[in-house]
Structure 1
Amino acid sequence: MSPVTEEQILVIPAATIDSIGPFTGFQPDVDRYLKPILASDELSFRPRGAMEKDPSFKQLIPYVVLQWTDAAGEPHLFAYTRGSGQGESRLHAKRSVGIGGHISAEDAAGGSEPYRTGMERELTEEVRIESTFEETCVGLIYDPSTEVGEVHVGVVHRFVLQTPDVHPNEDDICDTGFVSLSQLRAEKDRLETWSQLCLDHLFKV
């Protein structure tokens, strides 16, 4: 039996991001950061195991927030609980309003743009979106206060849906559904850090 090949994931040196301008928390200036990051010749695919322990590299993670507004005008976000089968064990049992994951070397096959291809693959693997929507890229997230956050940079995409027709494709995405902003704020402590940051910065009271 041939050995299992370790997943190769998309990373960029922390120094490259710092050269643009170091930030912590939610960074809304997408044009300043994302374009040079994705155009950088410092991007590379490296072994996931090593990268999870090396904060000198940051793993790029698309983080897609699905939003729907009810008839009364209140926004709702698609929320779920991360189950034990989800890739990042350190986030299990946390509630999330973001869908996404690592960009793999396979996402660059055939000359495709790996970031976009990887984002679409992750979405398709995790949920079925049966609604039209408008998409915008709204910010980046970096939270070095945890060992998970220290090695990841999130790229936040907001999909504004016409109808709340989103269904899980994986058993490990549990307790799914659109939740009102008021309820999410009331249960904010249950959310993973990136979701808390999105709630605070995209939907300011």
Structure 2
Amino acid sequence: MKEKVWVIDNEILNGINFFNGFTIVEQNILEKIFKNAYFIDRDLAETDESKKQIIPYVVIKDEKNKILVVQRTKNQTEKRLHNLYSVGIGGHVNPIDENENPELTFYNGLNRELNEELFIDKLKSLEYVGLILDDSTEVSRVHLGVLFIANVTNADIREKENFNELWLNEMEFKNFNGNFEGWSKIALRALEVI
């Protein structure tokens, strides 16, 4: 069976005043996006630039104020992101996440993705930050990131074969020479880490 993913038509987004990069939008705008989202085959969504796949994108911060950084290995499915570094954990919202309340559909997807990718000792808080929209690459043109910060006591990657992990503080980010994927650069600027 083909994977289905949650998407929003760009024409819905055209009525929203946000910029290419990072934008803070009100809760009612998020609700409008979620209310107008629907599922289509991922194969279609990956090449249809009239739609954006809605992706929960969560930055994980521990008690020492360090941020989890992962590097995608060649075992990871999205070939266009191999070897790049990321500060975002997340992924597609799928039909298994569906609820009659569209907002819960989104949060079910966010929760499922976090639990698939991480062992989290204790999630202390989950804070909405804003939206990531980046039209600069083939991958990012068909995705819309919903950025959050999760404060945890500790976390560890589940899929060691798909990701290498490290934890960096603000000073270490300034000296880090790894190549971050586009959304991570946007997220780190929005969080004023770089």
Do both proteins adopt the same fold according to a TM-score greater than 0.5, normalized to the shorter chain? yes
Name the structure 1 match of 2:108.
117
C-alpha distance 188-139 of structure 1, shift in aligned 2 (>3 A): farther
- Which is higher, the Rg of structure 1 or of structure 2? 1
Structure-2 residue corresponding to 1:149: 140
The 2-side partners of 1:129 and 1:29 are apart by 28
Aligned to 2:73: 83
Give the structure 2 partner of residue 203 of structure 1: 192
Give the TM-score normalised by the residue count of structure 1. 0.86
Equivalent residue for 2:24, pick from 14, 28, 44:
28
Residue-by-residue CA offset, 1:27-50 (whole Å, 9 max, x unaligned) = 12242531211123xx21001111
Structure 1 equivalent of residue 38 of structure 2: 44
Selected match of 1:55 from 49, 62, 75: 49
Q: 1:19 matched to which residue of 2?
A: 15
Structure 1: distance between partners of 2:130 and 2:3: 27
Q: Name segments (4+ residues, structure 1) moved above 6 Å.
A: 109-112
Q: In the TM superposition, what whole-angstrom CA distance separates every residue of 1:1-47 from its partner, at most 9, and x where no partner exists?
A: xxxx111100010110111224210012242531211123xx21001
The answer to whether the Cα contact below 8 Å between 2:74 and 2:162 also exists between their aligned partners in 1 is no
* Structure 2 partner of 1:193: 182
Corresponding residue pairs, total: 193
Q: TM-score, normalised by structure 2?
A: 0.91
Instruction: From 94, 98, 106, give the equivalent of 1:108.
Output: 98
- The one-letter code matched in structure 1 to 2:56 is P
Which residue of structure 2 aligns with residue 137 of structure 1? 128
Gaps spanning 5+ residues in structure 1: where? none
Q: How far off its partner does 1:85 sit?
A: 2.9
3-state SS of the aligned residue for 1:194? helix
Identity across matched positions, percent: 32
Unaligned runs of 5+ in 2: none
Q: Residue 169 of structure 2 corresponds to which residue in structure 1?
A: 180
Quick one: distance in 1 between partners of 2:166 and 2:31? 32
Number of the residue aligned with 2:86: 96
Deviating more after overlay: 137-146 vs 169-178:
169-178
CA shift in 2, pair 1:132/1:109, >3 Å: closer
RMSD: 2.0
Give, in angstroms, the shift of residue 106 of structure 1. 2.0
